[in-house]
Chains A and B, each alone.
Chain A
Amino acid sequence: MFFTYLRRELRRRRKAALVVASGLALGIALVIVVNSVSSGMGKAQDKVLQSLYGLGTDMTVTKAAQPQASASDRPRFQFDAQDGDSEAEQSTDRVLVQGFETLSTATVAKVGKQTGVSDAVGGLSLQVIKVSGQFTRGQVQQGEGGGQEGAAPGGQGGGTGQPQGEVQGGGADFDVNNYSVYGTDVTEPALGPLTSSKITSGRTFTSSEKNAKVAVVDSAYAKEKKLKVGSTVTIKSVKCKVIGVATADSGDAAANVYIPLTQAQTLSDSKDKVTTVYVRATDSQKIDSVKSTIQKNISGTTVTTSADLADTVSGSLSTASSLATSVGKWLSIAVLIAAFLVAGLLTSSAVSRRVREFGTLKALGWKSGRVTRQVVGEAMVNGLLGGALGIALGLAGAYVVTAISPTLQAQLGGGGGTGGGGGFGGPGRQAAARTLDVALTAPVSVTTVAIAVGLAVAGGLIAGAFGGWRASRLRPADALRRVE
């Protein structure tokens, strides 16, 4: 009887039922979309932060670079004057420690011993500037009217001051190749900048390759330089064999070339030096206290957590994230409250129109509880219908967002986190502001669907409570009064 009565009543009042269900559906769909977009924002931010840190890294320890004191600190490139007609290519490269002041490897060990630190590994960020090219001597042409004797740049210039001819041709053709190299601790593959990339070809380092002349190259760099597994990368005359190609998860790699840490230290004359210490905490909930401990015990260093980095994220990703968490959240709540109220008032109003019906049932001996259950049951079905409709709408909305995948820009600025150029992991990451493009997705989790179902049930119960309360207070005598 309960279900028959319920089904028939809902069919009779399908317009009202549709209004109630639609209101709830709208609210629930909004909750799903806002939730999933927020989740997508979170994932996008995680992706951005992961591209900086690598997976599993909770914080980095660095030391801010000192300002360069004089021009003598800048790299200098010297080329020999060449004889006569020689057009041989000259090449010279410099390997420089990038971005940070170096820390000794003893610091890595010291960090690793701090309370709350699970693991700590060092990395050395380098920049290689390679200049290569050739000079071409200019030709002196004798002219009738007397030309001038010139000199090719870098060539044998000078003259007598007597106009005897002019120099034609000559010059210099040099190419500057600037790329980043990262020295990684091959014994700790689970920590460090390479964890933000996936090996898409070949393999990664093995722990036995501590000082091997091997390299893993970033896929974008490999494509640009036509490198593949088996190719050779020459860094300061050291030929490293490419053993793997890595593709960055966020499309922005930590470095162009990764080599074993010891090899990097040798190449840059930085024996036992690192630029960054990657730290994993024993408990992700205690990162702040670990940060404080390290800062207290290892002076002069900058400790940067992912939360610090998150604060530096701005741009459309940050704006959209704020919108989703503030406007989206409040809009969802407002729509839900409105939907609940409308559902409650419509149910209550429906009970008012059925006073005689419920009064008659009570006169026949139906207990108040049974009548109330009938009303609540109808409201619950309305709520569940609204929930189903809302979940379908919400899933469709989330699917559309994922299908469109709008690109959001994440600007990572402020010199790399907390004061003094603290620690972004990889080379090329010390720029004052860096922009990353992240595609927004709207993943719908089981929790989100569970919340939606919960809201549908809550909506039904709230509406049912309005109507049920009225129905329970109804006196059976009303049924007879209505017919007088």
Chain B
Amino acid sequence: MYELKSVAKRYTRGKETVDALVGVDLTIADGDRLVIQGPTGGGKSTLLQMLGGLDRPTSGEVVLDGTDMAKLSEARLTKVRSENIGFVFQSFNLIPTLTAQENVETALVPLGVKVKERRERAAEALRSVGLGERLGHLPGEMSGGQQQRVAIARALVKQPKVLLADEPTGNLDESMRDEIMDVLETMWKELGLTFIMVTHDSSIAKKAPRVATIRKGRITVKENAAS
């Protein structure tokens, strides 16, 4: 379970200071599904970075399962990320020289999984997103939708508690978007993980049980009755 208490993030560039997050309080229960929306530059990605342990708040607490990530050492934070948090990025962020299977394996490398098991688990993850026939393909040989599926497999292969997705359908056309959202929704339901997604897409937001909106660093959360 996530608990954010009075989280603030201030960036300083020269004499200019930007308050990306201002007094954010947020609770996300295990297995919850939260969509974060808001205008560009409003602080969505900054919030996602705090939740993913990629950045630290200027003040406040980001508590995951009772541990304040803001106070962890870099090594401990890296460990938390490698074990508990899966990321899906808008631009897929696959390693262009590695095959689909090898890309998925990169998520298991920091866990010290043996090569054979790593390969098997990566192949299984790819099969689960419908890419069983594409294990040896390089990212450049696949469509955008297929690349994002590889990225989803990479995020989920380590069986994380949390899946963070930053505009996962932002670079995809409509049919691909639906395809990817179906995959993500299925995984969320099957694996029972906490799913937090940043998106500009209102149609996706409408389907989420909770929607957080960030404007000028301030957050408002509303339950979505329609979902």
Contact = CB atoms under 8 A, between A and B. Distances in A.
B97 A8 contact: yes
A365 B97 contact: no
Nearest to B118: A1
A480 B78 contact: no
Interface in A349-370: 356-357, 360-368, 370
Interface SS of chain A: helix
A364 B88 CA distance: 10
B60 to A, nearest CB: 17
A328 B168 CA distance: 59
A229 B48 CA distance: 99
Given A8-B97, A362-B78, A476 B54 contact: yes
Contacts of B89: 360, 479-480, 483
Contacts, number: 85
Interface in A427-484: 475-477, 479-484
Given A483-B91, A483-B166, A363 B96 contact: no
B196 interface: no
A4 interface: yes
Interface string B38-64: 001000010011001011000000000
A9 interface: yes
Contacts of B75: 367
Interface string B10-54: 000000000000000000000000000000100001001100101
Contact of A364 (B55, B96, B102, B106): B106
B90 A1 contact: no
Nearest to B81: A365
A1 B83 contact: no
Interface string B85-116: 00101110101111000100111011100010
A366 B166 CA distance: 20
A11 B97 CA distance: 9
A357 B103 CA distance: 11
A482 to B, nearest CB: 8
A366 B154 CA distance: 13
A12 B166 contact: no
A134 B55 CA distance: 113
A414 B127 CA distance: 89
A287 to B, nearest CB: 60
A483 B81 contact: no
A11 B98 CA distance: 12
A367 B73 CA distance: 12
Contacts of B71: none
Interface string B101-140: 0100111011100010000000000000000000000000
A5 interface: yes
A12 B55 contact: no
Nearest to A366: B110
A12 B166 CA distance: 28
For chain B, give the interface size range.
20 to 34
A12 B115 CA distance: 24
Contact of A363 (B74, B81, B109): B81
Given A9-B97, A477-B49, A483-B166, A364 B54 contact: no
Contact of A365 (B93, B105, B111, B115): B111
B82 interface: yes
Given A365-B107, A367-B78, A477 B87 contact: no
- Among A357, A360, A480: residue with most chain B CB under 10 A: A480
Interface string A1-43: 1001100110110000000000000000000000000000000
- Among A356, A357, A365: residue with most chain B CB under 10 A: A365
Contact of A1 (B40, B81, B106): B106
Contact of A481 (B45, B105, B110): B45
A5 B91 contact: no
A112 B99 CA distance: 80
A481 B45 CA distance: 8
Interface string A33-62: 000000000000000000000000000000
Contacts of A481: 45
Contact of B109 (A360, A366, A477, A480): A366
Contacts of A476: 54, 81
Interface of B: 40, 45, 48-49, 52, 54-55, 74-75, 78-79, 81-83, 87, 89-91, 93, 95-98, 102, 105-107, 109-111, 115, 154, 166-167
18 contacts: A1-B109, A1-B115, A5-B97, A5-B98, A360-B87, A361-B106, A363-B81, A365-B79, A365-B111, A366-B78, A366-B82, A367-B110, A370-B109, A475-B55, A476-B81, A479-B54, A480-B52, A483-B90
Interface of A: 1, 4-5, 8-9, 11-12, 356-357, 360-368, 370, 475-477, 479-484
